[in-house]
Chains A and B, each alone.
Chain A
Amino acid sequence: MKIKMRRLLSKLSKIVVFIFLFKFVLRIIPAFSDQALEPKKAGPNLIVVKNPHFLPESDQAKIVSSSVSIVKGFDLYAMTKQAIDLIGGMKKIVKPGNKVFIKPNYITGGLDGHDPVIAGEISHPEVVASVAEECIKAGAKEVIIGEWVERPPKINFAGKRNREGAQVKGLVDRLNKKYGHKVYLINLMDHTTYFRYVPSRTKLKFLAIPNIVAEADVIISIPSLKTHHKPSPVSLGMKNFMGIMPSLFYGEPRYKLHEAGVHQVIVDINRALKPDLVVVSGAFGMEGKGASLFLGGKAVDVSQRIGAFLVIAGTDPVATDATATRLITKNWEPVPDNFNLGTPWYVHHLRMACEQGLGLIDKSRINIMGEKLEDLQMNWETSNDGVYPEIP
């Protein structure tokens, strides 16, 4: 009995030592050994799912209804907090120790010397700062506010009136003074050290995402309320992520993504990132050609149209963008026969995102919290280039 026991223990020890040794040797072999550099089968199975944002599509397609909040007023800082609270509060989204990435729309703000906030080109700094503060209060370890900017950063981020960081820098400094240094305002081009490829349904097959975004636990989009020229009638939370895409690979303004089919690209980016929250900055916006004054957009002071500013928030990016689209396309024609689909159905990337299970467009399945949508709908100018309707 004693001998049998000794033999058994001996065999067990051999197995344990062998497993330990095998694992150890595997760890120290360089990743670009012959085997690692062998071309592998192209396809989604190539991607290692390490990040909670890179969820299989099937996990994203189970949305029954979505909530979107609309808040009206003049105190943007407080309105932003209220909009987030109405959909459950930031603690539901950000957990203690999380790394948060916030993508505002900074585009070319201030390049021509004008104020990019009043022009509606960029997300309002108070909305961005308020979201950042809510993240910190919910326990975020760090909050990175970033955009991929190809041009010399001093020109782009400061404008010509020395408005460093598209005017949000002062507010970021204030937050850092109050909570310790937790908020960073960065150009992704300067701080990306590698890229993670995510699947794309376009001919590109894969899209390169900067590691800072790919590694974030929570991803938040803060667009400015805008119409847009071809190829998209609106530019909101989903399209905003085009601004993280590396010009190193895709050119500026991301020509290769446009050539590959920008609508599907927008859906692919959002499928990969699975943004946790979209907060639309609706104080100042752009109508007509949109995007920027340089590109022919017209500034809109929302308070001049409906008597106050707006903040729209939601955790479903499709439903939030669809709601924001409804807010500015009151009389746009044509609209689908199905009243519940409305103008968002004729915005390619929204319809495709809905069809591919990323979120909802159907008005009857979107719970609007706060203000009534019908009371606030406006008729903003479309870009006069036939971009709307994008009929399937």
Chain B
Amino acid sequence: MMAYIQRYLKVSISVFLFSILINNSQALSYGLIADALAAKGQWVKGVVADRKAVIARESGAISEIEIQVPRQGRYNLLVYVYHNWKKFSPCIYVEAVDSEGKKHFGSHRIENCWYLKEPGQGRWFMVSLSDNPWWVLPKGNLTIRFWAKGCALDAGKGTEVPMEGDIAIERFFLVPVVDELAVSIINPESTSGGWGFSYYDKNYQTGYIFTDKKNSLNSYAIKVPFSGYYQVYLSLLSLDPSALDIGISNGRIAKNARVVVKPEKEWGLVVTEPLFLNKGEYTLSLKNVEAKRVLLDYLLLLPFIEKNSIK
């Protein structure tokens, strides 16, 4: 009997090792993001609060951008958007056409910045554009047409009003929705550690954390909702070449990745390599590798979709 058990255990271990090999061989980088600068149409390219973006100066001006959907599934469309309206609410609309020609719609009415008192002062927001709760998209090209209008402040359907100021979009994120769980956005300001923080900065018109100390460490309690590969997306600004070490650990497992921060006058996005994480609680840590000043605005932990799934 022992011989039988030994034989089957050998087979089991071989299959187990083979399956691990298959899993890790999928680790190819593929981002479900699109910089708005790639959009074509009536929104004009520019820089808003040191962030490259496309800007709508006229109500109903339409632009178009494309994102590759790597795999059929459910997705939510997020955008990082700016406005400086005090009286009315800017409304953003999208109409997306998938690779099978089906249309998907969405919109978002953003609250006016009535609490920011100085003229021209605005804010960057992360908002969802897809009609709730998600779009079911086939694999392939997704063409997104987007436009903006002014809306009155009533809580029902907003009456259209003239554009009060600018609306700008920096970036689009197509976020996979797996089972009943969606997007992980980590607010860097909810930190503990050696980095400093600014809840709101008048120049960058957003909140962020910063450090100029070598090995300065910040950590966050995160929960990974399901097992799989994930990538960390960081919106960073640094005038000098630098690097950050990203660590995700829970006492038993420790995954590490280093991201290089290129010197830029404007905010940029860096993405870690895919990291396999089991469902559970972790500590995500950020360590500044050099004694260079680095600013971090938003931080996302998103499921990774393999590039090799696109045919």
A residues with a Cβ closer than 8 A to B are: 6, 9-10, 13-14, 17, 20-21, 24-25, 27-32, 34, 36-39, 46-48, 111, 150-156, 187, 189-198, 204-208, 211, 230-231, 247-253, 255-256, 258-260, 262
Contact = CB atoms under 8 A, between A and B. Distances in A.
B193 to A, nearest CB: 15
B183 A195 contact: yes
B222 A193 contact: yes
A6 B2 CA distance: 10
27 contacts: A10-B1, A13-B4, A17-B5, A17-B8, A25-B15, A32-B228, A32-B305, A37-B72, A39-B72, A39-B73, A39-B74, A48-B180, A150-B111, A153-B199, A154-B199, A156-B115, A189-B187, A195-B181, A196-B181, A197-B133, A208-B133, A211-B223, A211-B225, A248-B126, A249-B133, A259-B156, A262-B155
Contacts of B15: 21, 25
A331 B216 CA distance: 63
Contact of A28 (B23, B127, B226): B23
A249 B26 CA distance: 31
B115 A37 contact: no
Nearest to A10: B4
Contacts of A39: 72-74, 136
Nearest to B181: A194
Nearest to A294: B114
Contacts of B186: 193
Contacts of B136: 39
A258 B155 contact: yes
Contacts of B89: 255
Contacts of A194: 181-184, 223, 225
B29 interface: no
A255 B156 CA distance: 7
Given A13-B4, A205-B133, A256-B132, A251 B180 contact: no
Nearest to A195: B182
Given A13-B1, A193-B223, A253-B111, A30 B229 contact: yes
B158 interface: yes
Interface residues of B, number: 65
B180 A46 contact: yes
A258 B1 CA distance: 68
B86 to A, nearest CB: 13
Contacts, number: 172
A249 B158 CA distance: 17
B292 interface: no
A358 B26 CA distance: 47
Interface centre among A36, A204, A249 (most CB of B within 10 A): A249
B9 interface: yes
Interface string B103-136: 0000011110001000000010011100011001
A190 B181 contact: no
Contacts of A251: 108-111, 127
Nearest to A27: B227
B252 interface: no
A152 B89 CA distance: 17
A13 B182 contact: no
B297 interface: no
A42 to B, nearest CB: 9
B4 A231 contact: no
A46 B128 CA distance: 21
Contact of B111 (A13, A230, A252): A252
Given A194-B225, A196-B181, A258-B156, A34 B133 contact: no
Nearest to A204: B132
Nearest to A258: B155
A28 B71 CA distance: 20
Contacts of A150: 111
B180 to A, nearest CB: 4
Contacts of A156: 115
B309 A34 contact: yes
A248 B127 CA distance: 5
Given A10-B1, A248-B127, 10 more contacts: A28-B227, A31-B303, A34-B309, A46-B180, A194-B182, A197-B133, A197-B180, A248-B78, A251-B127, A255-B89
A256 B185 CA distance: 20
Contacts of B225: 193-194, 211
B20 A28 contact: yes
A24 B115 CA distance: 53
Contact of A34 (B71, B108, B181, B301): B71
Nearest to A229: B155
B157 interface: yes
Nearest to B282: A193
Contacts of A197: 133, 177, 180-182
A317 to B, nearest CB: 22
Contacts of A191: 187, 190
